[in-house]
Copies of this chain bind each other. A is one copy, B any other.
Amino acid sequence: MADPRFFRAAGPFTVGDLAAATGAEIGGAANAALRLDDVAPLEAAGPHHLSFFSNVKYAEMLACSAAGAAFVHPAAAARAPAAMTLLLSANPYLSFARAAARFHPAPRRPVGIAASAVIDSSALLGPAVSIGHHVVVEAGAEIGAQTEIGHNCVIGPGVVIGRDCVIGANVTLSHCVLGDRVRLFPGVRIGQDGFGFAPDPAGHVKIPQLGRVLIGNDVEIGANSTIDRGAGPDTIIGAGSMIDNLVQIGHNVVLGRGCILAAQVGVSGSTKLGDFVALGGQVGLAGHLSIGTGAQLVAQSGVMRDVPPGTVYAGTPAVPRRQWLRQTAILDRLATKKDK
Contacts and interface: CB of A to CB of B under 8 A. Distances in A.
A157 B6 contact: yes
B151 A136 contact: yes
Contact of A198 (B93, B204, B336): B93
Interface string A156-176: 011010000000111010110
Contact of A100 (B185, B207, B263, B266): B207
A316 interface: yes
B248 A199 contact: no
A245 interface: yes
A311 interface: no
A105 B40 CA distance: 46
A209 to B, nearest CB: 9
B331 A203 contact: no
Nearest to A231: B41
Interface residues of A, number: 111
Interface string A301-338: 01010000000000111010001001111111011101
Interface string A70-113: 00000000000000000000010110111011011000000000
Interface string A218-241: 101011101010001100000010
A208 interface: yes
B281 A282 contact: no
Contacts of A260: 199, 204
Given A154-B152, A226-B245, A187 B172 contact: yes
Interface stretch (A12-20, A25-33, A123-131, A189-197): A189-197
B186 A242 contact: no
A154 B136 contact: no
A212 interface: yes
Contacts of A207: 96-97, 100
Stoichiometry (number of copies) = 3
A113 B212 CA distance: 29
B192 A186 contact: yes
Given A6-B175, A198-B93, A228-B245, A151 B154 contact: yes
Contact of A244 (B168, B169, B195, B246): B195
A205 interface: yes
B103 A208 contact: yes
Chain A interface SS verdict (over half): loop
Nearest to A325: B335
A205 B286 contact: no
Nearest to A175: B6
Interface in A267-312: 268, 276, 281-282, 284, 286, 299-300, 302, 304
A266 B281 contact: yes
13 contacts: A94-B198, A133-B136, A136-B152, A168-B192, A170-B187, A195-B244, A204-B260, A226-B246, A299-B302, A299-B304, A319-B332, A327-B335, A331-B331
Given A91-B198, A327-B332, 8 more contacts: A2-B232, A91-B200, A93-B198, A152-B154, A154-B170, A262-B268, A319-B332, A330-B331
Q: Which 5 A-B pairs have the closest CB atoms?
A: A104-B208, A2-B210, A172-B186, A326-B335, A189-B223
